[in-house]
Amino acid sequence: MGNPARGDQGLNKDLHVIVLMGGWSKEREVSLTSGAGIAAALRERGWSNVTELDMGHDVAARLTELKPDVVFNALHGTPGEDGTVQGMMDLMGISYTHSGLETSVIAIDKELTKMVLVPHGIRMPAGKVVESESIYSADPIDRPYVLKPANEGSSVGVAIVTSDGNYGSPIGRDVPGPWHEFDQLLAEPFIKGRELTVAVLNDEPLAVTELKIDSGFYDYEHKYTDGRTVHVCPADVPDDIAQSMMDMAAKAHRLLGCKGASRADFRWDDEQGEAGLYLLEVNTQPGMTPLSLVPEQAKSRGIPYGELVERLIAEALA
């Protein structure tokens, strides 16, 4: 496998780069951290015209005023990851990093993602979208199962409902959970086993990381709180399992039409061998914070953080 980072990008470092960050999603703080890191890396590598823009509802007017040559989209969640901002920049004729409108619309929606990937042989958990109100009268599927919003990232609002858990049977109206935040939820069978992830950069899978958590499951808090999760990269899994995950991640990236970097998240029931491997979702704008998985996997392949940022800009401009 070749190194996807070799060679000078040949970029004009006088170009005006806007790092679009923040916004108003549930992932605002993570986006601000990603954006600050990206801007700092560019300046360290000699970029002379970098502007950090915390997205407000006047974002179109601000972009018109600032006249970027390229936007580094460091937003996470809606509306920066769901096609809304992508469509706006398409209309404005602005080049931007990561995936475009159509891909973003599909990948943020877990049911649409399944409709694209499962017919091509990518194994994903079966599931169904349910009205949150309905779970107070009966379980949507057999326990144990996972409830999560159909179109949020970063494990926002995920609950695992077990037979001996604290949610009640059926789930109680007064019990905290995503059912209070979202009108609809995706119910999926809980896949026991190990949490793994694969980053794809410019169509090439980088590595497999196993996420070993201190308790519970790999939720938003574990992703972005130092010390809550140990990243094992490369993961200690059999070669054929690692290759299957990398192949599935790259195939999903291509089928969805992803650009730049994506990250595919997996669960693996190691008692089942390859048949226990499930792709859970594809993140089209994975985090770029110090705890994030894409920079970590890139580093394992000899790609420093600043070069990773430049590669994403180079693809946006290509």
Which of these is catalytic: 152, 265, 296, 315? 265
Q: What is the pLDDT of residue 156?
A: 63
Q: Which of 127, 177, 260, 287 is catalytic?
A: 287
Q: Say which of 81, 281, 296, 310 is annotated catalytic.
A: 281
Same domain, 44 and 170: no
Looking at the structure, tell me whether residues 148 and 265 fall in a common domain. no
Residues 42 and 24 in one domain: yes
pLDDT, residue 249, reads: 98
Instruction: Judge if 81 and 176 occupy the same domain.
Output: no
One domain for residues 93 and 205: no
The verdict on 37 and 173 lying in the same domain is no
In-domain check, residue 11: no
At residue 8, the pLDDT reads 54
Please indicate whether residue 165 is annotated as part of the active site: no
Residues listed for the chain:
318
Strands 159-161 and 128-131: unpaired
Shared-domain flag, residues 111 and 226: yes
Q: Is 136 a catalytic residue?
A: no
The contacts of residue 123 (CB under 8 Å, 6+ apart) are 248, 277, 278, 279
How many independent structural domains does the chain possess? 3
Q: Is residue 7 assigned to a domain?
A: no
Exactly one of 154, 155, 244, 292 is catalytic; name it.
154
Q: Catalytic annotation on 292?
A: no
CATH code of residue 111: 3.30.470.20
Residue 5 lies in a domain: no
Q: Is 265 one of the catalytic residues?
A: yes
Is 49 noted as a catalytic residue in this protein?
Answer: no
pLDDT of res. 223? 46
Per-residue pLDDT 10s for the chain (318 aa) are: 444 433 356 899 999 999 999 999 988 999 999 999 999 999 999 999 999 999 999 999 999 999 999 999 999 989 999 999 999 999 999 999 999 999 999 999 999 999 999 999 999 999 899 999 999 999 999 999 999 988 765 456 889 999 998 899 999 999 999 999 999 999 999 999 999 999 999 999 999 999 997 655 444 444 444 556 899 999 999 999 999 999 999 999 999 999 999 999 999 999 999 999 999 999 999 999 877 999 999 999 999 999 999 999 999 999
Residues 248 and 200 in one domain: yes
pLDDT in the model for residue 290: 76
Tokens, residue 266: 């997996």
**pLDDT at 7 (0 to 100):** 37
Is residue 165 in a domain? Answer: yes
Which pLDDT belongs to residue 48?
Answer: 96
- Give the residue among 304, 306, 278 at the shortest CA–CA distance from 197: 278
Domain of 26 in residue numbering reads as 17-97+305-309
Q: DSSP secondary structure string, 256-288?
A: HT--SEEEEEEEE-GGGGGGGEEEEEEESS---
Question: What pLDDT is attached to residue 224?
Answer: 46
CATH code, domain carrying 140: 3.30.1490
Asked about 281 being catalytic, the answer comes back as: yes
260 plus 134 within the same structural domain: no
Residue at which a domain ends, from 145, 164, 189? 189
Predicted confidence at residue 254, as pLDDT, reads 98
Q: Are residues 280 and 205 in the same domain?
A: yes
My answer on whether 51 and 87 are in the same domain is yes
Residue 174 bears catalytic tag: no
Q: Are residues 58 and 116 in the same domain?
A: no
Global pTM value:
0.89
- Domain end marker among 144, 173, 189: 189
